[in-house]
Amino acid sequence: MEDAGIWLRELITPYDVYLHGASEILLWRRTEFQEICIVQTEAFGKKLFLDGIVQSSEADEFIYHEALVQPAMLTAGMPRRVLVLGGGEGACLREVLRWDTVTEAVMIDIDAEVVSACRAHLPEWSQGAFHDPRVQLLHTDAVQYLEHVREPFDVIISDMTDPVEDGPSTFCFTREYFRRVQAALGDHGVFALQAGPLSPPEISLHAKVLRTMELEFGHVQAYPCNAAVYGRPLGFAVASRTPIHARLDPERTAPVLDAHVRGPLRYIDAHVARGLMATPPFVRAAIDASDVVYTDAVPPRTAHAAGWEAGA
């Protein structure tokens, strides 16, 4: 097997690096908000990077996006109005629109160039979602949008990049942000969030985000996303004012999936959605031990480093 001609270096911890081998750079540019790179690889097909951090791959993006969206949709029961914050690939939007109960889906992504690039180079992700008449796509700041929501949403999905230094998502993991999200939800509304790595060496960010969420929501549940492209499990969270576990009873949710979700799901079913909510003890212990609350005055700031190397 020939060596990859291009290597993308992603810093996992200060002492660990993930090398992504690519055969071709399809797009590489810096937008007003971040650096975007789309590459072709032999192992995972196409990959999307933002600010040097892999976001998703052609081979296993369905695991990430089904795991982020579908447990929240199932918890909501029969969601009608859904808000997607971030999610530039359009894959979260795709998963939302599988539900025939959805009458309106609003997607907010501040970076129009990223959305345009994904529509041009990664159409397999969105699968026509941007053309659905139920969709309203806005390129504005998510925090500002939340301040002006008048009609509550049934589900809100926050699919943001990690809060890297000076990145566009820094203030989308703070107590004030979560307070705005809660205010934009109905009484039984559900919030889902990409909340940082879940592996023990780097679980600190996830634990702090979950601890911050718990101050604003009555019920918060951490759960994993195990897509191979990230090299370790990511941490997601689902939150609501009312209990979550009881609303994910497979006897209730399986008929709902069969009746209202278009097309076969490849990762989530009624039993998997419930099973993901069994939080490992080390995750719960890390959340309980965290005494950090992220605020707009003291938001999360994670370092990142990426580089490009030609293969030998």
Low-confidence ranges of the chain (pLDDT < 50): 1, 312
Same domain, 124 and 251: yes
* 122: its two tokens: 């990664």
Return the ∠ at Cα 298 (arms to 293 and 303), rounded to 5°: 100
Confidence at residue 306, expressed as pLDDT on a 0 to 100 scale: 58
Q: Give the pairing of strands 104-108 and 81-86.
A: parallel
Same domain, 108 and 190: yes
Same domain, 162 and 232: yes
Confidence at residue 201, expressed as pLDDT on a 0 to 100 scale: 86
Instruction: Report the distance separating Cα 109 and Cα 192, nearest Å.
Output: 16
Return the ∠ at Cα 157 (arms to 108 and 122), rounded to 5°: 65
Same domain, 127 and 260: yes
> What digits encode the pLDDT tens for the residues 68-80?
999 999 999 999 9
From 60, 109, 159, 269, the catalytic residue? 159
Confidence at residue 5, expressed as pLDDT on a 0 to 100 scale: 85
Same domain, 31 and 82: no
Domain CATH for 52: 2.30.140.10
Same domain, 248 and 178: yes
Total structural domains within the chain: 2
Same domain, 70 and 53: no
Phi, psi (rounded to 5 degrees) for 30: -105, 125
Same domain, 101 and 111: yes
Owner of token pair 């191979």: 228
Same domain, 177 and 30: no
Assess whether 3 carries a catalytic annotation: no
DSSP 255-293: HHHHHHB-S--SS--HHHHHHTT---HHHHHHHHH----
**Residue 166 structural domain:** 61-289
Domain CATH for 158: 3.40.50.150
**CB 192 within 8 Å of CB 235:** no
pTM (whole model) above 0.85? yes
